[in-house]
């Protein structure tokens, strides 16, 4: 057994040890968090001058959950803002916070600050190693191989108080832990740091693809933070392949790469290779005729799998990812948030649709609020209609039950509701295996209707089924709850590839409308207190313009998620300006174009 295999078995053994005594480990984890942060302003507000150090862990756990309230990020925001503004007193942690992470901001409309500490980088390195060990059991890779990673840093900036702020991935790529990973990992990324941190995602994507093909025989797997990034990269490749092949043949670099540091780093990896360039060019001509079906295994013959976050808001990209990946395994990456890593995928051979995430009990203190769906007429259920009860600790959750996740972290978040709805699908020892269900936040509501991102995804998936009769492909989508005119109505924006026939798109419009099963929506549609659903077809490249809008406003490509619902006036202006056709639905009847 080689050193890598030994290291894999060591970290899996560590995980199994803590997983099979998770209840005890969780109690100790909470005690450690509170002991490290004893006396901070936020805890003193609820615990007073309680001598945490002198208390038994079990007694402290009971007292903590009875005295410290459940909160949302908004409740902690005033403390985090004081830190960002330069308040150096121990507000949330005893360890000075010098770095703040930014959430993507594409879900809620604006990014939020989350403290980032040495523990954040350490836990990231640890879960990456653990995840890689489980993947290596199912899909062994060659030591010294390479990874085609579509990863991107964004610019860091200084807050008013002088703290470094940026995305969590940016902080990690700049950390000592990432350098350790690059030096000790079994396979290495194809791209140098100058490409990852280039600052222009289009230039970085071109270089990722170019270098990936230079090392095509060595690539063991393809990866990104989110599935969207891989789909975006290969969509770009469909337009860039001829230029990339010329660079491979001649050992040159396209003039589109204007970053001096990126040019220098990439040119240092290149030398003329006409044989490889012509070989790839020939394959690309064949693949173009097949609409790029199986492009990844065809161009990277030793690739074992594709690895990325594929759950939640990334599910709509699975079909396109499968198209590019052919028979390669699609492995859903681990479950985490800007606030904390949560669970590891210990069953990488499972399909993304069946992916579960096993909670790591040392990363944070976890609680779970049981969510009981309220029965409504005709058994139509709104995902947000829940009867809540008191949260339970990690080891007391029940298989089949749905919960909202609550975190107490080493970085100063105390009993913070994450907003994620998960279902317990089983146990690994004493620690639960979670299936991600949805974000709890409502995104479409006008009257008494309540629809989440998951409800929208289901409606769009069902509504797009008529496209299977054609060669039309749904590229991306978003929505808007319009109240400009009464009654208000839902607008669904679709970008499609191919010429959409009028009757097929009209059928899609109708199917989307009847696929919202929320009772409040159905009643409101029947009473005309919500108007007919509108399907808007936008021109090709519209969602690229939305991506560019977010990037130009400071978002990071590596954390970008297409907003599934928007009320942002700038985005609505882009969408409406790019709309080429509109359809309106008459519920359970026909649709008409107008």
Q: What is the pLDDT of residues 82-114, one digit of tens each?
A: 888 888 889 888 888 888 877 655 444 556 788
Tokens linked to 85:
């503004």
Question: Which residues pair with residue 146 across a beta bridge?
Answer: 188, 219
pLDDT of residue 589: 56
Q: According to the model, what pLDDT value does residue 374 have?
A: 55
pLDDT of 456-478, one tens digit each? 888 998 988 888 888 888 888 89
Residue 328: the pLDDT is: 94
Torsion of CA 241, 244, 246, 250, to 10 degrees: -160
Q: Which of 143-152, 304-313, 371-380 has the lowest mean pLDDT?
A: 371-380
Long-range contacts of 551-557 (CB under 8 A, 24+ apart): 551/201, 554/111, 554/154, 554/155, 555/104, 555/105, 555/106, 555/111, 555/154, 556/102, 556/104, 556/152, 556/153, 556/154, 556/166, 556/167, 556/169, 556/170, 557/152, 557/154, 557/201, 557/204, 557/229
Once rounded to an integer, what is the mean pLDDT over residues 278-294?
A: 93
Alpha-carbon distance of 320 to 126, in angstroms, equals: 31
What is the distance between the alpha carbons of residues 235 and 543, in angstroms, rounded to a whole number?
12
Instruction: Identify the CA nearest to 506 among candidates 590, 417, 436, 396.
Output: 590
Q: Which whole-number Å values give the CA distances from 423 to 27, 128, 334, 355, 371, in the listed order?
A: 22, 23, 16, 12, 10
Top-ranked range on mean pLDDT: pick from 58-72, 85-99, 291-305, 481-495: 291-305
Own/partner pairs, 67-71, CB within 8 angstroms, 24+ separation: 68/43, 68/414, 68/415, 69/415, 70/369, 70/391, 70/406, 70/415, 70/417, 71/414, 71/415, 71/416, 71/417
Instruction: List the strands of the sheet with 164-167, edge to edge.
Output: 113-116, 99-102, 164-167, 157-158
Q: Is 258 exposed, middle or buried (0-12, 13-18, 19+ CB in 10 A)?
A: exposed
Tokens 């669904």 belong to which residue?
492
Mean pLDDT for 36-53 is 84
The confidence score (pLDDT) of residue 240 equals 94
Segment (H or E) for 497 = strand 489-497
Higher pLDDT, 13 or 553: 13
* 185 or 479: which leads in pLDDT: 479
What does the pLDDT read at residue 552? 75
| Among 428, 393, 396, residue whose Cα is nearest residue 57 | 393
Task: Average the pLDDT over 46-60 and give the result.
Answer: 78
Confidence band (pLDDT; 50, 70, 90) for 593?
Answer: very low
Nearest to 91 by CA among 102, 78, 110, 104: 78
Ranges 173-177, 198-202, 411-415: which has the least confidence: 173-177
Q: Is the pLDDT of residue 171 over 80?
A: no
Report the pLDDT value the prediction gives residue 104, as an integer from 0 to 100: 56
pLDDT of residue 362: 93
**Predicted pLDDT of residue 528:** 79
DSSP secondary structure letter of residue 68? S
Share of the chain above pLDDT 70, in %: 89
Helix axes 260-267, 201-214, angle to 10 degrees: 0
pLDDT of 380 reads 38
Q: Can you give the pLDDT at residue 283?
A: 94
Q: Give me the mean pLDDT over the 331-341 stretch.
A: 86
Q: Strand, coil or helix: what is 86?
A: coil
Q: Is the pLDDT of residue 25 over 50?
A: yes
Sign of CA dihedral 519, 522, 524, 530: positive
Is 65's pLDDT higher than 70?
yes
- Identify the helix (H) or strand (E) that includes residue 74: helix 73-84
- Mean pLDDT along residues 376-382: 39
Decide the pairing of beta strands 99-102 and 164-167: parallel
Distances (CA, A) of 578 to 187, 458, 461, 551, 573: 43, 25, 22, 19, 8
Q: Which of 5-14, 360-369, 562-571 has the highest mean predicted lDDT (pLDDT)?
A: 360-369
Structure tokens that stand for 501 in this block: 């026939």
C-alpha to C-alpha distance for 372 and 377, rounded to whole angstroms:
16
* Average pLDDT of the chain to the nearest whole number: 84
Crossing angle of the two packed helices 3-19 and 118-138, in degrees rounded to 10? 110
Query: 184: closest CA among 129, 116, 242?
Result: 129
Note the pLDDT of residue 457: 86
Q: What pLDDT score does 427 carry?
A: 93
CA torsion, points 478, 484, 486, 488, in degrees to nearest 10?
20
Give the DSSP letter string of 298-339. Answer: HH-TT--EEEEE-SGGGGGGHHHHHHHHTTSEEEEPPEE-SS
Instruction: With residue 546 as reference, give the H or E element that holds it.
Output: helix 542-552
The predicted model scores a pTM of 0.81
**Confidence class of residue 168 from pLDDT cuts 50, 70 and 90?**
low
**Ordered DSSP codes for 352-391:** GGG--EEE-TTTEEEEEEEEEEPP-GGG---TT-EEE---
Task: Locate 550 and state its tokens.
Answer: 């977010």
Report whether pLDDT(180) > 70. no
Radius of gyration (Cα) for the chain, nearest Å?
25
pLDDT band for position 184 (cuts 50, 70, 90): low
Residue 379's pLDDT is 38
């Amino acid at each position: 057994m080689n050193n890598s295999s030994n290291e894999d078995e060591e970290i899996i053994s560590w995980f199994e040890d803590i997983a099979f005594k998770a209840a005890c480990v969780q109690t100790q984890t909470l005690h450690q968090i509170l002991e490290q942060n004893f006396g901070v302003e936020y805890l003193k507000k609820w615990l007073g001058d309680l001598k945490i150090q002198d208390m038994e862990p079990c007694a402290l756990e009971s007292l903590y959950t009875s005295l410290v309230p459940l909160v949302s990020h908004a409740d902690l925001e005033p403390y985090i803002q004081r830190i960002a503004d330069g308040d150096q007193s121990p507000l949330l942690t005893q360890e000075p916070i010098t770095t703040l992470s930014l959430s993507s901001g594409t879900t809620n409309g604006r990014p939020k600050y989350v403290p980032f500490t040495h523990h954040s980088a350490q836990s990231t390195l640890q879960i990456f190693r653990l995840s890689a060990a489980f993947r290596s059991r199912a899909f062994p890779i060659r030591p010294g191989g390479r990874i085609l990673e579509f990863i991107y840093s964004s610019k860091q900036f200084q807050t008013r108080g002088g703290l470094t702020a940026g995305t969590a991935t940016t902080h990690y790529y700049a950390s000592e832990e990432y350098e350790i990973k690059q030096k000790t990992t079994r396979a290495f990324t194809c791209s140098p740091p100058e490409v990852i941190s280039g600052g222009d995602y289009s230039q970085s994507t071109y270089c990722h693809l170019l270098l990936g093909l230079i090392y095509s025989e060595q690539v063991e797997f393809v990866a990104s933070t989110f599935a969207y990034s891989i789909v975006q990269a290969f969509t770009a490749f469909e337009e860039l392949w001829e230029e990339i092949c010329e660079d491979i043949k001649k050992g040159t670099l396209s003039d589109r790469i204007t970053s001096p540091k990126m040019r220098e780093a990439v040119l240092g990896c290149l030398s003329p290779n006409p044989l490889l360039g012509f070989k790839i060019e020939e394959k690309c001509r064949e693949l173009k005729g097949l609409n790029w079906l199986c492009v990844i295994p065809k161009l990277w013959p030793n690739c074992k799998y594709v690895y990325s976050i594929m759950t939640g808001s990334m599910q709509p990209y699975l079909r396109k990812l499968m198209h590019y990946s052919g028979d390669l395994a699609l492995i859903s990456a681990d479950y985490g948030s800007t606030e904390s890593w949560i669970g590891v995928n210990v069953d990488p051979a499972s399909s993304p649709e069946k992916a579960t995430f096993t909670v790591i009990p040392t990363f944070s203190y976890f609680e779970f609020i049981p969510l009981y769906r309220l029965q409504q007429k005709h058994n139509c259920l709104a995902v947000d209609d829940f009867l809540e009860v008191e949260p339970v600790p990690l080891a007391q959750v029940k298989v089949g039950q749905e919960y909202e996740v609550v975190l107490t972290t080493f970085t100063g978040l105390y009993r913070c509701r994450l907003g994620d709805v998960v279902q317990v699908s089983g146990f690994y020892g004493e620690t639960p295996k979670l299936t991600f269900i949805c974000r709890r936040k409502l995104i479409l509501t006008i009257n008494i209707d309540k629809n989440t991102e998951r409800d929208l995804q289901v409606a769009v998936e069902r509504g797009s089924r008529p496209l299977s009769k054609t060669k039309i492909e749904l590229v991306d989508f978003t929505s808007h709850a319009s109240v400009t005119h009464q009654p208000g109505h839902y607008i669904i924006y679709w970008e499609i590839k191919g010429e959409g026939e009028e009757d097929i798109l009209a059928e899609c419009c109708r199917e989307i409308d009847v696929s919202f099963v929320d009772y409040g929506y159905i009643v409101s549609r029947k009473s005309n207190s919500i108007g007919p659903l509108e399907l808007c077809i936008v021109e090709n490249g519209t969602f690229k313009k939305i991506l560019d809008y977010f990037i130009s406003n400071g978002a990071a490509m590596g954390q970008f998620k297409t907003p599934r619902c928007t009320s942002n006036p700038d985005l609505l202006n882009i969408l409406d300006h790019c709309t080429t056709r509109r359809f309106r639905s008459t519920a359970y009847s026909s649709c008409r174009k107008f």
